Amino acid sequence: MVPGVFLLRRVACCLLLAVAHGNPLPPATSGALSANAATAVATVLATEPAPAIRLNSATLEGERLTLDFSRELLALGPGSLAFEQFSRRVHRAAAEVLQEALAHFEIHTQIDGVPLPEWLPPTESAARSRPLLAPPGSAAPGTSALTSRRVAVSPGHGYYLNGTNWVLQRGYWQGIVEDFVNHDMITLVRDELAGAGATVIPTRNLDRTAGTGESGFPKWQEAARYHVKAVGADTSVWNESGYTHLEQDIRCRPRYANSVGADVLVSLHNNGGGGTGTETLYDTNNGFGTESRRLADAVHNRVIATLRREYNPAWPDRRVQGFNGSYGENRLATRPSILIEVAFMDRPTPDNAALQDEAFKRLVARAIREGVQEYFDGPAGVPPYGPASLIATLTPTAVSLAWLDQSANETGFRIERRAEGATTWEVVGTAAANVTAYVDTAPVAGRSSAYRVAAFNAAGPSALYSNEATLVASPAPPVTTPAVPAAWLSNVSLRTTLGSAQAVTVGFVVAGGSREILVRAGGPTLTQFGLVTAMADPRLELFRGAARVTDNNDWPAALAPTMAALGAFPFSPNSRDAALFRSLDGAHTVQATGTTAGTILVEAYDLGGGGSGRLVNLSARQRVGTGADILIAGFYIAGTGEKRVLIRAVGPALASFGVTGVLADPRLEVFDGTRSIAANDNWDSSLASTFGSVAAFALPAGSRDAALVLNLAAGRSYTAQVAGAGTSTGEALVEVYELP
């Protein structure tokens, strides 16, 4: 392993300009997103059967994109099936643009400057003002959140009469059809909700033994219109005049939920059109926009978190999306209502393959139930997710434990131990919420012991424990506490630009014991600094040697207090930035990558606790470009006085390690803020003995690598910039070593 790591103390304005406050999207970024969304929508309009429809404007204000269409759109009939199908096509195109920059967004439709709700039929406008038949209230004392709830569940599609023939609403993809997959999944959702005490009201027949329906097909395969009719709903619910059976099927679902006094309506569909991942839709104008948003957030976040933790760490998040009357299943509900599109039928992997996996379906069903339960009872009403990646480290007098917090709603963690030969686990201590480390000061000496950790809150413990970590605690010899240096390397970071699926490798060494380290990969949040080329979805992987210790794709909200305490600029809520927190010792490497190209900031923060160790060496290897794409690493020296450091920029010497395309002639320049304080083009041979004193690999005599030894004042941030002579480019390594 090539030792080392990264840059930036707190704001590092020399790299990221200035910290922007207020609007998470600067006007320039909002304008660019509006323009890109308009282009995407115009592309769809060009293929529409009615090409006369024009997009007058697309304006993004905060999280709301307003699309204003010409009056020709009225020919489709606002509220009709044709209008909704058109809306879905243009909205999906716009959403593909917005989801890369916004954690949540709304798309509002206007026609000739008039908001869509004002164009809808008067009867639908009146429906939006009707109150809930059974308003949500608090559960009775001693009951679960769902015991007193009536939840309507609606699996999309099914056989319907298209005039003369009974047909399915969707086609087969890789051997499965959405009409039946939706039914499978909502049946599991029904079981989850009913098991938690809810009264579940389905809009389709969920009994596969119910016999044949009026279509001649099994009742469970029929669309909602025919089930609602069979159970005796009022004719006005399922047989509205002026609508086809297909339109009546869509409209009767929310109208049936209204008629039976459901507290909420949860519709489940699967998507199509070439995308991938999960999205959840709600209506902003049905009289329950705020509550529908809250329900959508709770369910969607649970589904995404569950799938990424337990099924596919890279499962795509297409975000929670609000609309002002575009879709009848949510628009016509006079109660909180959402529609979740779980996956894309026409995407073979990962989507369609997942939809044929029973484990995937059960995970989604459980997550939907947890989301509904969280909506009614708050986050503490649902048990937290269990922790992961438990690591046990033996110190001279104790066992240090560190784990990954995978929940945002725990009250704390319970640490358990089982000695060799024991049949039961004993609780050795607890840790508060968001704390991910514990020290067992009284381990069982001379015997193997296993440790595990569970999260808990008022709803109970996590269903799963962490992994078990086992080691042997031996009687500790007397030790002396190492002296704390007056100055030491602290927070470090690296800013670079990566191509799609390209990785940057960052390394660091903690010596003298363990240390609590926060590692971050900033991408989307960098847009608040005016950086328009920020990476959309960075990912971190932490290695010790060749062994992967842990990873993170989207940062856990539980780390927000830790970031604030360190003075690190905050990540945007629900952003796709990455972060992990570990107690570490020895040499580790971090690999940061992303599915799309962009600029990324990788940081490591020394929390100043969790052990006696400290960062003594950091490095980063990346392809060096020109201009803004040179290699920029930074570090902060904490404490008082001065610290003597060795800084190297290695290019030609990497060839001996099998690296190709090396930077032939790197130039190293060190900055204190914006002031250049030292530079080197070709290293001085007198430094060879210094390399050996810190176990840095030797550089070939006469090579064009660069190196500097500097005495740097504590309490300041520094950057080391590596560029090629002239306009040359290539692979290079930047290193910073603490010197005695």
How far is the C-alpha of 358 from the C-alpha of 118, rounded, in Å? 44
pLDDT tens digits for 331-372?
999 999 999 999 999 999 999 999 999 999 999 999 999 999
Smallest CA-to-CA distance from 610 within 402, 299, 325 is with 402
Q: Which is higher by pLDDT, 66 or 544?
A: 66
Say if residue 623's pLDDT is above 50.
yes
Stronger pLDDT, 240 or 491, i.e. the higher one: 240
Each residue's pLDDT tens digit, 553-587? 888 777 787 787 777 788 888 888 988 877 777 78
User: What confidence category does residue 537 fall into, taking pLDDT thresholds of 50, 70 and 90?
Assistant: confident
pLDDT tops 80 at residue 152: yes
Q: Is residue 6 over pLDDT 70? A: no
Please classify residue 682 by burial: count the beta carbons closer than 10 Å to its beta carbon, then call 0-12 exposed, 13-18 middle and 19+ buried. Answer: middle
Span 596-613, average pLDDT: 73
pLDDT > 70? residue 126: no
Question: Contact, 603 vs 46, CB < 8 A?
Answer: no
- Band of residue 202 on the pLDDT scale cut at 50, 70, 90: very high
DSSP β-bridge partners for residue 349? none
* Burial annotation 279-297 (CB, 10 A radius, 16+ → b, else e): bbbbbbbbbbbebbbbbbb
Q: Between the ranges 26-40, 195-209, 431-445, where is the mean pLDDT highest?
A: 195-209
**Euclidean distance between CA atoms 555 and 573, whole angstroms:** 9
Q: Quick one: pLDDT at residue 276? A: 95
**Residue range 315-324: average pLDDT?**
96
* Second-level CATH architecture of 388-473: Sandwich (2.60)
Q: Is the pLDDT of residue 167 over 80?
A: yes
Decide: 519 and 603 in contact? Cβ < 8 Å. yes
- Asked if residue 123 has pLDDT above 90, the reply is no
Higher pLDDT, 638 or 211: 211
pLDDT for residue 135 is more than 70: no
Instruction: Check residue 528 and report its DSSP letter.
Output: G
With residues binned 3-state (H G I as helix, E B as strand, rest as coil), the percentages for the chain, rounded to 5, are: 25, 35, 40
Interaxial angle between packed helices 81-98 and 27-45, expressed in degrees from 0 to 180 and rounded to the nearest 10:
140
pLDDT at res. 361 = 96
The answer to whether 670 and 678 have CB atoms below 8 angstroms apart is yes
Letter string b/e over residues 245-260, b meaning 16 or more CB atoms within 10 A of that residue's CB: bbbbbbbbbbbbbbbb
Burial class of residue 714 (count of CB atoms within 10 Å of its CB; 0-12, 13-18, 19+): middle
d(CA 186, CA 155): 6
Nearest to 550 by CA among 513, 588, 510: 588
Residue 108: phi, psi to the nearest 5?
-105, 140
* φ, ψ of residue 356 in degrees (nearest 5): -100, 10
Helix (H, G, I), strand (E, B), or coil: what is residue 329?
helix
- CA-CA distance, 243 to 626, in Å (whole number)? 63
Give the residue-averaged pLDDT of 198-202. Answer: 96
Which tokens is 663 given?
A: 């930077």
Q: Which two tokens stand for residue 493?
A: 């970071």
Stretch 424-445: mean pLDDT: 88
The 8-class DSSP code of residue 250 comes to H
% residues pLDDT > 70 (the chain): 89
Q: Average pLDDT over the chain, rounded to whole?
A: 84
In this prediction, residues 245-269 reach a mean pLDDT of: 96
Res. 204: pLDDT tops 90: yes
CATH ID of 146-377, from 1.10.150.120, 1.10.3720.10, 3.40.50.620, 3.40.630.40: 3.40.630.40
- Is residue 174 within 8 A of residue 228, CB to CB? The reply is no
Q: Work out the pLDDT band at 145, boundaries 50, 70, 90.
A: low
Is residue 67's pLDDT more than 90?
Answer: yes
728 against 135, higher pLDDT:
728
154-166 per-position pLDDT tens digit: 999 999 999 899 9
Give residue 142's pLDDT: 39
The answer to whether the Cα torsion of 426, 428, 431, 436 is positive or negative is negative
Give the best-scoring range by mean pLDDT among 91-105, 247-261, 667-681. 247-261
Residue 147: per-residue pLDDT? 85
pLDDT confidence of residue 132: 47
Q: Exposed (0-12), middle (13-18) or buried (19+): which is 300, by Cβ within 10 Å?
A: buried
Q: Which band of pLDDT confidence, cut at 50, 70 and 90, is reported for residue 293?
A: very high
Residue range 286-294: mean pLDDT, rounded: 93
pLDDT digits (tens, 9 = 90+) for 485-535: 677 777 778 887 777 667 788 887 777 777 778 889 888 888 887 777 888
pLDDT at 29: 67
